[in-house]
A and B are shown apart, each in its own frame.
Chain A
Amino acid sequence: QKEVEQNSGPLSVPEGAIASLNCTYSDRGSQSFFWYRQYSGKSPELIMSIYSNGDKEDGRFTAQLNKASQYVSLLIRDSQPSDSATYLCAVNMANQGGKLIFGQGTELSVKP
């Protein structure tokens, strides 16, 4: 089992729809969870961080964390073509120091 798993996609949604990106992780003691966006040929850009169970909203983005199910998700409301990118889930696992474990990324395509 991979430490952090994401559906590779591509996930295609129409403009204005809600895009739902999912991520599961293997280490129950994981503490911190991050969503990064990466455009092709560019570096990862932080979208959201979440540390506690529940929802965290920032503009059109909502991160959801369920530690019991070892599941973290990112919802993008009113998706725009400019949201088309690869979304990376990253987890800071227990007793792993500061390093982040990344999923493979989900490619999102928002069609006009």
Chain B
Amino acid sequence: NAGVMQNPRHLVRRRGQEARLRCSPMKGHSHVYWYRQLPEEGLKFMVYLQKENIIDESGMPKERFSAEFPKEGPSILRIQQVVRGDSAAYFCASSPPRTSGSLGQETQYFGPGTRLLVL
């Protein structure tokens, strides 16, 4: 049973370019979360998606960042016009579907991450 997959594992971009990060959740999981880890900082929530729906984007920067989880294919985190401050590790996590009364107990399993370096 494959775990959460992310690609690319490493991505180098020059300032002003676009970065596309992809995440395929674990088999049977329908919830995807994106987190960012800046150097020497903790993990920060960015966005929570289900198929074709953004559930919570309260952690997303207001500009240049967008995310989607289409009906077919992986979830994509897109960063337009990257700046050096976007250099970080971006982790995707997935969890199984909610069951009634679960109260958010679904465990999130993390992918290997994409390390973005902006030159």
A99 touches B56 (CB 8 A): yes
How many angstroms from the CA of A100 to the CA of B31 in the assembled complex?
A: 13
Interface residues of B in 12-68 (CB under 8 A from A): 31, 33, 35, 41-45, 48, 55-56, 58-59
Residues of A within 8 A of B55 (CB): 97-98
Shortest distance in angstroms between B40's beta carbon and chain A's nearest beta carbon?
Answer: 10
Interface residues of B in 79-119 (CB under 8 A from A): 91, 95, 98, 103-113
**Residue interface mask A1-45, B partner, CB < 8 A = 1:** 000000000000000000000000000000110101000001111
Interface residues in chain A, defined as those with a beta carbon under 8 Å from any beta carbon in chain B: 31-32, 34, 36, 42-46, 49, 51, 88, 90, 92, 96-105
Q: Using Cβ atoms and an 8 Å threshold, which residues of chain A touch B42? A: 88, 102-105
Interface residue tally on B, bucketed by range: 20 to 34
Chain B residues with a Cβ under 8 A of chain A:
31, 33, 35, 41-45, 48, 55-56, 58-59, 91, 95, 98, 103-113
CB <8 Å contact, B113 and A43: yes
Chain B residues with CB under 8 Å of A45's CB are: 110
Cβ contact within 8 Å between B107 and A43: no
Report the separation of the CA atoms of residues A14 and B46 in the bound assembly, to the nearest whole angstrom: 37
Q: How far apart sit A99 and B113, CA to CA, in the bound complex (Å)?
A: 17
Bound complex: CA of A107 vs CA of B110, how far in Å? Answer: 19
Residue of A nearest to B56 (CB): A97
Could you tell me if B33 and A98 are in contact, using CB atoms closer than 8 angstroms? yes
Nearest CB of chain B from residue A24's CB, rounded to whole Å: 15
Interface pairs A-B: 10 shortest CB-CB: A102-B43, A99-B45, A92-B104, A43-B110, A104-B42, A31-B103, A44-B110, A97-B56, A43-B113, A32-B105
Q: Looking across the interface, which residue of chain A has its beta carbon closest to that of B50? A: A98
Given A98-B31, A98-B33, A102-B43, the answer on whether A44 and B91 have CB atoms closer than 8 Å is yes
| Given the contacts A98-B33, A99-B59, A44 and B43 also touching, CB distance less than 8 Å | yes
